[in-house]
Amino acid sequence: MTSAENRAANVRLLALDVDGVMTDGLIYYSNSGEELKAFNIKDGLGIKLLQTAGVKVAIITGRQSEIVARRAQELGIDYVIQGREDKREALMELCQSNDIELVECAYMGDDLPDLAAIRAAGLGMTVADGSSAVREAADWLAQHKGGYGAVREACEFILSAKGAWPALESSFA
């Protein structure tokens, strides 16, 4: 097992940034001023499978969006922290309130506001198109870009390291 796989095997919580991780980072506005975001359905299934295996999932984002709250509700994500610029501090508070050590936590981000949280987590993760500083700091790098299956890839990596992926995958056969 690699160092990242060993770290992933101990993950009890995956915290995700939204823009650039769960989405492609683009923000669309309608003529009426409504904000639109696109989420990848495969990422959603990965999150649900991770939850099935007993791993908690959280969202930590610097922006505020009803769309994010709706997507989190659809996926059964209990921990949604919006409007927090200091994501490391938010991650530490989340871990403390859930009696989870930082070493048992994975954080996936894509840009400089995520850097401190990636470094603090037991498993720092990023997307293929993450900023160079984030890619350098991360323990694990997805092959997919944000919004294009990177979260699903991260979920499968964690589940595989825990030995849970084969049974989950075969449950669909």
Residues 6+ apart with CB under 8 A from 29: 35, 36
CA distances from 167 to 18, 56, 127, 148, 152 (A): 28, 19, 26, 24, 16
pLDDT of 86-136, one tens digit each? Answer: 999 999 999 999 999 999 999 999 999 999 999 999 999 999 999 999 999
Identify the pLDDT of residue 154.
Answer: 98
> What pTM does this model have?
0.96
Give pLDDT tens digits for 79-94.
Answer: 999 999 999 999 999 9
Is the confidence at residue 156, as pLDDT, over 80?
Answer: yes
pLDDT at 37 over 80: yes
Q: What angle do CA 134, 27, 34 make, to 5 degrees?
A: 150
Output the pLDDT for position 1: 76
For the residues 15-34, what does the mean pLDDT come to?
95
Q: Please give the mean pLDDT across all residues of the chain.
A: 97
123-137: b (≥16 Cβ within 10 Å) or e: bbbbbbbbbeebeeb
Q: Residue 37 and residue 28: Cα distance in Å, rounded?
A: 6
SS (H, E, C) the chain: CCHHHHHHHCCCEEEECCCCCCCCCCCEECCCCCEECCCCHHHHHHHHHHHHCCCEEEEEECCCCHHHHHHHHHHCCCEEEECCCCHHHHHHHHHHHCCCCHHHEEEEECCHHHHHHHHHCCEEEECCCCCHHHHHHCCEECCCCCCCCHHHHHHHHHHHHCCCHHHHHHCCC
Residue 173 has pLDDT above 90, yes or no: no
State yes or no: pLDDT of 38 exceeds 80: yes
Domains of the chain (ranges; CATH) run: 3-162 (3.40.50.1000)
Q: What is the mean pLDDT of residues 139-146?
A: 98
